[in-house]
Amino acid sequence: MADFVKVATTDKISEGRKMKVDVNGIEIMLTNVSGKIYALEDVCSHEQCSISDGDLEGFVITCPCHGAKYDVRNGNGFKETPWGLGQETFEVKIEGKDVFVKV
């Protein structure tokens, strides 16, 4: 059964910023895009690289190892990236300044 776990506070994830957190052994990238915080599996489905080390442009994060691109809103890979299999996403809940992720 999945539970919400506190992972950060909103003041640590400003607009356009990425943050890597570990929740029960799962590496998760948090990012703030347009004032909303998203949670995406941090380990790339293609080459086991840390996606949080990649470039974020709008809702698209690019893996730094081989350029796979993923939408932070839903984890979908982009078709121009053949190995973009997709990344798991996690539900985010904000309570006051606390950020929770459902794992």
Instruction: Identify the pLDDT of residue 88.
Output: 93
Cβ-contact 68, 80 below 8 angstroms: no
Q: Would you say the pTM of this structure is higher than 0.75?
A: yes
Residue 1 has pLDDT above 60, yes or no: no
Structurally, the chain folds into a number of domains equal to 1
Place of tokens 């442009």: 57
Phi, psi (degrees; rounded to nearest 5) at 51: -65, -30
Cβ-contact 17, 34 below 8 angstroms: no
Other C-beta atoms within 10 Å of 102: how many? 13
- When comparing pLDDT for 86 and 46, which is higher? 86
Q: The CATH number of the domain where 15 resides is what?
A: 2.102.10.10
- When comparing pLDDT for 100 and 68, which is higher? 100
Continuous H helices in the chain: none
Q: Per-residue pLDDT tens for 8-48?
A: 999 999 999 999 999 999 999 999 999 999 999 999 877 78
What range does the domain containing 19 cover? 4-102
